[in-house]
Structure 1
Amino acid sequence: MSWFFDFKSSSTDPVLSTQLPVIESHAGKIYTAELFKEVRHEILKAGELIVSDKSEVGGRKTYRLTKYCKDGYERSVVYDGSTFECSCKRFESRGIPCSHIFYVMKEEHVDRIPSNLVLTRWTKDAKIQFLNSSNCNDNVDLNTIAEVRFGSYCNVLTELCKEA
């Protein structure tokens, strides 16, 4: 069934539904369909956040964030113009940007998820990049790989239709 999720990820665009459609659209283009759901959830949670303090020292901006109507909740995000680091450590543990980072991206008018916050294993192109890095495909181009994959999907779907 993983072939279905590969096909769905590579051939469909998600319906945009958050308050940050430009970032959400970018996420939809780079992440697999399954992981995009998690990323979208983090973007939605950014709507609950409020800046309680903002400081800048030597080009590094530090945002202290709280949640609407949640006493005692506080996270810090440091942004140096190209990288984000959050005190919740969600990116380090799960591999996707957290709601706190998405909020600071909005505040800083960053409209694309920086490449240093995108792990290759979660992207739509992860398998293609793996195939290109292996020695068995030195003389095969991406179009050929895509055509072979499409043919394989067609065969599987034809068998599925026959069974139905």
Structure 2
Amino acid sequence: MKKGVFLLCLALYAFSVTLTIFVQAAGIADEKLRLLSSFGSLISFFAVLAMLFLIFRLKDNKESKVKSCGQKQRKNPDEKNPSKEKYLEFAARNGLSRRESEIGYLVLGGLSNIQLAETLFISLATVKKHLTHIYEKTETSGRKEFAEKVKAF
């Protein structure tokens, strides 16, 4: 939605700048066209302001999502995860790719599929595909069994 509004503002800006340049370059003396050109300049100014607002708003939303997803959300807070080094050794022995290792470690942190997608800026389908590969390579059937296998390693 916000990206669509941004693209609309960008198109409006491009149109208004083109109109202003055309009227000024053609040297049109018609008062109505000059007024339209001035209006186009005003529109382009507000379009730029709207785009800047949307850019900062989108950036803030992404940062807040990353911060909220970065907090570990374990079901049992007393439960300890293995060290990162131990996990990476587990991942290497099971043939996980770098991205699969990253996703697997975040899964151990308790992130949901949606949180993984938002944190890593990938689609939900991509997360599911990586998880399928992780479970196949580690010969597990889901998150719980995966976590147990990593902890037993």
- Identify the TM-score tier after normalising by the shorter chain: under 0.3
The TM-score, its normalising length taken from structure 2, stands at: 0.25
* Larger strand percent: 1
* Larger helix percent: 2
Larger radius of gyration: 2
